[in-house]
Amino acid sequence: MVDVTHGVAAPVPAAEVGDVELYHPRSWVTKYVFSQDAKVIAIQYSLTALSIGLVALVLSWLMRMQLAFPGLLPFIDADRYYQFITMHGMIMVIYLLTALFLGGFGNYLIPLMLGARDMVFPYVNMLSYWVYLLAVLILVAGFFVPGGPTGAGWTLYPPQAILDHTPGHQGGIIVMLVSLMLFIVGFTMGGLNYVVTVLQGRTRGMTLMRMPLTVWGIFTATVMALLAFPALFAGSIMMLLDRLLGTSFFMPSIVSMGEQLKYGGGSPILFQHLFWFFGHPEVYIVALPAFGIVSDLISTHARKNIFGYRMMVWAIVAIGALSFVVWAHHMYVSGMNPAFGFFFATTTLIIAIPTAIKVYNWVLTLWRGDIHFTPPMLFALGFIVTFVNGGLTGLFLGNVVVDVPLSDTMFVVAHFHMVMGIAPIMVVFGAIYHWYPKLTGRMLDDALGKLHFWVTFVGAYAIFFPMHYLGLMGVPRRYYEMGETAFLPPSTHMLNEFMTIAALIVGAAQLAFMFNLFWSLRHGRPSGGNPWRATTLEWQTPQTPPTHGNWGKELPVVYRWAYDYSVPGAAEDFLPQNQPPMPRTP
Amino acid sequence: MSVIVIFMVLIAAIAFWWLSRQRLMAKPWLEVGIIGDIGGERPPTWPKAKIGLGVFLAVAGSLFALLVSAYSMRMAMADWRTLPVPVVLWLNTILLILASIALQTAVVAGRRDDFGGVRSTLLIACVSSLAFLAGQLLAWRQLVASGYFAADNPANAFFYLITAIHGLHVLGGLVALSRTTARMFDGPQTPLPHTIGELRLSVELCAIYWHFLLLVWLVLFSFLMHWASDFVSFCRAALS
């Protein structure tokens, strides 16, 4: 190791960033409700996202019940089933994962990991949460409008999304589009904060290449989200106008039930382009923060520096850039020019290269590491397995010739649940087990955490692994019931029942997690400031949980990268980022 | 979608230019110590509000690029029927250029501590921007009066949508601009020394935003006038 400072490290003068003037809350309301403190906003974001996620979890139970035991729950009819599908997908992808990774983890970790006192625009940050909450409430209102929420599928493809006879065409689709637009507005406010804080809020010594990979992942994902969400925004406005004012952006001339509709001249494919121009980056908006967090979890809990840090950073940036030129691989069956299919298949497969680099680096970090099987580590390992699994089926689906027969089958459902459902949620859990002590000063219960992991991990496999086989046999997605078919043997039905039972068990296991969250708040083992003996700055705060302003009088100064674990010759097996270099022995 | 891809390439170029100056080739595991001694990264000099605005412009730019993409994609289909572009749009374009020039003058006047000049140019910018919006509404009324409704035809719908979204962005900018103007007029003849920096920055941010709005409008206008599509077909012909 090369010491760059010569002699004993001299005390370093004031921070590189001007110390910001902090907003000081005066009352309980401004401290905990309309708070401008990124940490409170982060908790608000996380709790809201997890709560709405529970709704989506229950919806998935109801869908699974219908698939395995049709007719058992008499209130599920075909329309309801489509509404459940739509809301489940939309909530999980946007209102849970995007909001939790960027609004929740981003808000909490960016200022703390970079040694800042807060986000750069705290007021806008607060607005961001309240607009997000409004979007969630409007989304939930969809359940109560006449006709119920929209049942157009989470992709909301026109023309069917706004035609009569699609469930929720009366009010549900309007509510959904308005909610999405608000979400985007709220996210943009937050996203500006995350980006500018990373650009301007870093403490002295925190160069970009010393940032923990968590921040790299969240930063890149935010940049992508800022650029991709406008596509969904534009699509939503145009569809809303089609629905409300009768314009024809997406609506072609249609004869419905023998009646010529007033629409004419719109292009449904145009919506698909807009939607997937958002939709594909969205996959990586969810995945990149997960990549970053998992790198930090593995490094910390294997007591080893991350393997190939530079390559990890470059891979994150490369994936972010590439993900903008692959969107049409979701549209292979839309009748597009085969030459385009070839182009998009190629770009899609190229993304596998940086992604594989990341997987190799995680595995090589584990190699000969001092692996502690703590709940965060278990979830990180679970992530690697499920992500590789989902990534491999992605290679199948990225090829046009393989995708065409598999399109719209359960294989696709299994693929995206593995890769952007189970894998990121594993990271969410791992991250919660990892950072909960910082939030509360207490540890989550270890035994319950391990139980939670094993049931969730094995259960999720029990649900989604067989689903691939259903898809290969030709079971289509989005079918309310299969009925009697010649091409499906009775064993497919047994498999469906098995998957449903697994889904119920996995869902119930989350109760143990929630119990753990609340119980440990009071009764958990006190954690101290740095229970995992981690190097990054958020563990070096003077108080735990960190107080308003995060740091005491002086901002921390960063002397080293974020992964100094098991450094030869060091007294401890970790060197915090703000620990000055050892004086060189003469 | 070619317009948005070009826009993204532009953004990517900026991002990579910036990243290339961030010592991405560094080996952080070998560099222990105060980074100032290692050399390389300098403390950022731009105010955070300016960077925030820059990021926001990228977001708004992406929205407009997508709208133009959608518009030109639809235009390429065989059944496209155009609508006559009202003449008043020419006047509006001049008004927006005027506002942009006025704000740039205000920035220059602010740097010379000529605060009377700042006040008058800010007023000119406000008035001409309002006139621009009024002119856009007039163009809508003319179109409606001659029977071009939004629901009739995709070309009409796109025209109303694109001008409306641009107009809303002008309106949002006017909120910031009028607040800046009010602050200029509220204070003493020569603003207090500790507020001067902040006022200069506000004026500069408004100017940047207006230049952006002007640029976007010129692109939109060229598409609405079909010059851009002529240009694209000219390029296609030249290539093939």
Structure confidence at residue B194 (pLDDT): 78
Report d(CA A492, CA A499) in Å as an integer.
10
Q: Which residue has the higher pLDDT, B227 or A112?
A: A112
Asked whether residue A486 carries a pLDDT value surpassing 50, the answer given is yes
Cβ of A230 within 8 Å of Cβ of B74? The answer is no
Structure confidence at residue A11 (pLDDT): 42
What percentage of chain A exceeds 70 in pLDDT? 95
Cβ of B33 within 8 Å of Cβ of A4? The answer is yes
Cβ of A2 within 8 Å of Cβ of B25? The answer is no
Task: Return residues 550-579 of A near B (CB < 8 Å).
Answer: 557-561, 563-564
- The minimal CB distance from A226 to the residues B31, B51, B58 is found for B58
Report d(CA A82, CA A496) in Å as an integer.
18
Structure confidence at residue B221 (pLDDT): 92
Task: Produce one character per residue of B160-196: b if its CB has 16 or more CB atoms within 10 Å, e if not.
Answer: bbbbebbbebbeebbeebeebbebbeeeeeebeeeee
* Nearest chain A alpha carbon to B45: A200
- The minimal CB distance from A209 to the residues B23, B48, B157 is found for B23
Give me the mean pLDDT over the A168-178 stretch: 94
Lowest mean pLDDT, pick from A74-88, A189-203, A403-417, B10-24: B10-24
Give me the mean pLDDT over the A404-408 stretch: 92
Residue B160 pLDDT level (bands cut at 50, 70, 90): very high
Amino acid residing at A379 = F
* Nearest chain A alpha carbon to B70: A270
How many Cα atoms occupy the beta-carbon half-sphere of A408 within 13 Å? 10
Report d(CA A271, CA A238) in Å as an integer.
9
What is the per-residue pLDDT across A114-167, written as a single tens digit (0 to 9) for each? Answer: 999 999 999 999 999 999 999 999 999 999 999 999 999 999 999 999 998 899
Cβ of A563 within 8 Å of Cβ of B29? The answer is yes
Cβ of A267 within 8 Å of Cβ of B165? The answer is no
Cβ of B151 within 8 Å of Cβ of A309? The answer is no
Cβ of B70 within 8 Å of Cβ of A270? The answer is yes
Q: Please tell me which of A66-70, B196-200, B231-235 the model is most confident about, judged by mean pLDDT.
A: A66-70
Q: Which two tokens stand for residue B42?
A: 């300098």
What are the angstrom distances between the C-alpha of A210 and each of A135, A214, A347, A546, B118?
A: 36, 11, 30, 22, 44
Residues from chain B contacting residue A192 (CB–CB below 8 Å): 52, 55-56, 59
Cβ of A267 within 8 Å of Cβ of B77? The answer is yes
Would an 8 Å CB–CB cutoff place A5 in contact with chain B?
yes
- The minimal CB distance from A270 to the residues B5, B29, B73 is found for B73
Contact A355, A315 (CB under 8 A): yes
Asked whether residue A4 carries a pLDDT value surpassing 60, the answer given is no
Asked whether residue A463 carries a pLDDT value surpassing 80, the answer given is yes
Give pTM, 2 decimals.
0.94
Would an 8 Å CB–CB cutoff place A533 in contact with chain B?
no
Report d(CA A191, CA A219) in Å as an integer.
9
Question: Which of A247, A277, A309, A559 is best to mutate for the B interface (most B CBs within 10 A)?
Answer: A247
Structure confidence at residue B189 (pLDDT): 78
Residues from chain A contacting residue B165 (CB–CB below 8 Å): 237
Structure confidence at residue B240 (pLDDT): 62
Cβ of A310 within 8 Å of Cβ of B151? The answer is no
Question: Which of A1, A4, A236 is best to mutate for the B interface (most B CBs within 10 A)?
Answer: A4
Give me the mean pLDDT over the A5-21 stretch: 45
Report d(CA A297, CA A304) in Å as an integer.
11
Cβ of B158 within 8 Å of Cβ of A309? The answer is no
* Nearest chain A alpha carbon to B53: A192
- The minimal CB distance from B31 to the residues A4, A199, A238 is found for A4
What is the per-residue pLDDT across B20-32, written as a single tens digit (0 to 9) for each? Answer: 888 888 888 888 8
Q: Which two tokens stand for residue A162?
A: 């706004």
Lowest mean pLDDT, pick from A323-327, A329-333, A402-406, B148-152: B148-152
Rounded to a whole number of angstroms, the distance from the CA of A412 to the nearest CA of chain B is: 26
Cβ of A238 within 8 Å of Cβ of B38? The answer is no
Residue A540 DSSP class = G
Cβ of B29 within 8 Å of Cβ of A273? The answer is no
Structure confidence at residue A79 (pLDDT): 93
Cβ of B30 within 8 Å of Cβ of A2? The answer is yes
Residues from chain B contacting residue A248 (CB–CB below 8 Å): 151, 153-154, 157
Structure confidence at residue A571 (pLDDT): 85
Structure confidence at residue B72 (pLDDT): 87
Report d(CA B40, CA B28) in Å as an integer.
13
Asked whether residue B42 carries a pLDDT value surpassing 60, the answer given is no
Of A409, A160, A453, A224, the residue nearest B15 (C-alpha): A224
Residue B43 pLDDT level (bands cut at 50, 70, 90): low
Rounded to a whole number of angstroms, the distance from the CA of A440 to the nearest CA of chain B is: 31
Residue B144 pLDDT level (bands cut at 50, 70, 90): very high
Mean pLDDT of chain A: 91
Rounded to a whole number of angstroms, the distance from the CA of B152 to the nearest CA of chain A is: 7
Lowest mean pLDDT, pick from A331-345, A493-507, B170-184: A331-345
Report d(CA A91, CA B159) in Å as an integer.
33
Lowest mean pLDDT, pick from A188-197, A575-584, B71-80, B187-196: B187-196
Cβ neighbours of residue A50 under 8 Å, at least 6 residues apart? A96, A100
Residue A303 DSSP class = T
Residues from chain A contacting residue B70 (CB–CB below 8 Å): 234, 238, 249, 270, 273-274
Give me the mean pLDDT over the B220-240 stretch: 76
What is the per-residue pLDDT across A516-556, written as a single tens digit (0 to 9) for each? Answer: 999 999 999 999 899 999 999 999 999 989 998 899 888 89
Cβ of A248 within 8 Å of Cβ of B55? The answer is no
Cβ of A267 within 8 Å of Cβ of B1? The answer is no
Task: Return residues 308-337 of A near B (CB < 8 Å).
Answer: 309-310, 313-314, 317, 321, 324-325
Cβ of A209 within 8 Å of Cβ of B151? The answer is no
3-state secondary structure of A3: strand
| DSSP bridge pairs for B31 | A2
3-state secondary structure of B23: coil
Rounded to a whole number of angstroms, the distance from the CA of B169 to the nearest CA of chain A is: 13
Asked whether residue B44 carries a pLDDT value surpassing 70, the answer given is no
Report d(CA A483, CA A162) in Å as an integer.
28
Structure confidence at residue A172 (pLDDT): 94
Cβ of A209 within 8 Å of Cβ of B22? The answer is yes
Chains A–B, number of C-beta pairs less than 8 Å apart: 174
Q: Which two tokens stand for residue B202?
A: 């506000």
Structure confidence at residue A32 (pLDDT): 82
Q: Which residue has the higher pLDDT, B81 or B39?
A: B81
Question: Which of A3, A125, A185, A192 is best to mutate for the B interface (most B CBs within 10 A)?
Answer: A192
Asked whether residue A15 carries a pLDDT value surpassing 50, the answer given is no
Residue ranges with strand state E in A73-178: none
Q: Which residue has the higher pLDDT, A524 or B80?
A: A524
Structure confidence at residue B93 (pLDDT): 96
Task: Produce one character per residue of B6-18: b if its CB has 16 or more CB atoms within 10 Å, e if not.
Answer: ebbeebbeebeee
What is the per-residue pLDDT across A344-390, written as a single tens digit (0 to 9) for each? Answer: 999 999 999 999 999 999 999 999 999 999 999 999 999 999 999 99
Of B22, B18, B20, the residue nearest B41 (C-alpha): B22
- The minimal CB distance from B29 to the residues A238, A241, A561 is found for A561
Give me the mean pLDDT over the A570-581 stretch: 90
Q: Please tell me which of A56-65, A157-166, A561-570, B74-83 the model is most confident about, judged by mean pLDDT.
A: A56-65
Q: Which two tokens stand for residue B121?
A: 């140019």
- The minimal CB distance from A192 to the residues B32, B44, B52 is found for B52
Residue B239 pLDDT level (bands cut at 50, 70, 90): low
* Nearest chain B alpha carbon to A580: B33
Lowest mean pLDDT, pick from A66-70, A160-164, A323-327, B21-25: B21-25
Report d(CA A243, CA A162) in Å as an integer.
6
Question: Which of B30, B59, B159 is best to mutate for the A interface (most A CBs within 10 A)?
Answer: B59
Residues from chain A contacting residue B56 (CB–CB below 8 Å): 188, 192
Task: Produce one character per residue of A51-89: b if its CB has 16 or more CB atoms within 10 Å, e if not.
Answer: ebbebbbebbbbbbbbbbebeeeeebeebbbbbbbbbbb
Rounded to a whole number of angstroms, the distance from the CA of B214 to the nearest CA of chain A is: 20
Cβ neighbours of residue A281 under 8 Å, at least 6 residues apart? A224, A225, A227, A228, A323, A324, A327
Cβ neighbours of residue A583 under 8 Å, at least 6 residues apart? A7, A8, A9
* Nearest chain B alpha carbon to A238: B161
The length of chain A is 586
Would an 8 Å CB–CB cutoff place A508 in contact with chain B?
no
Cβ of A238 within 8 Å of Cβ of B70? The answer is yes
Lowest mean pLDDT, pick from A206-220, A383-397, B182-196: B182-196
Residues from chain A contacting residue B22 (CB–CB below 8 Å): 207-209
Give the DSSP per-residue string, A195-250.
HHHHHH-PPTT--GGGS-HHHHHHHHHHHHHHHHHHHHHHHHHHHHHHHHT---SS
- Count Cβ atoms within 10 A of the Cβ of residue B49 and give its class: 0-12 exposed, 13-18 middle, 19 or more buried: middle
Task: Return residues 33-52 of A near B (CB < 8 Å).
Answer: none
Distance of CA A504 to the CA centre of its chain: 23
Amino acid residing at A346 = T
* Nearest chain A alpha carbon to B35: A205
Report d(CA A503, CA A509) in Å as an integer.
10
- Please name the residue ranges forming H helices in A367-422: 375-398, 400-406, 410-417
Structure confidence at residue A8 (pLDDT): 39
Helix and strand numbers (H, E) in chain B are 8, 1
Residues from chain B contacting residue A559 (CB–CB below 8 Å): 32-34
Give me the mean pLDDT over the A189-206 stretch: 92
For A433, the enclosing helix (H) or strand (E) is helix A423-440
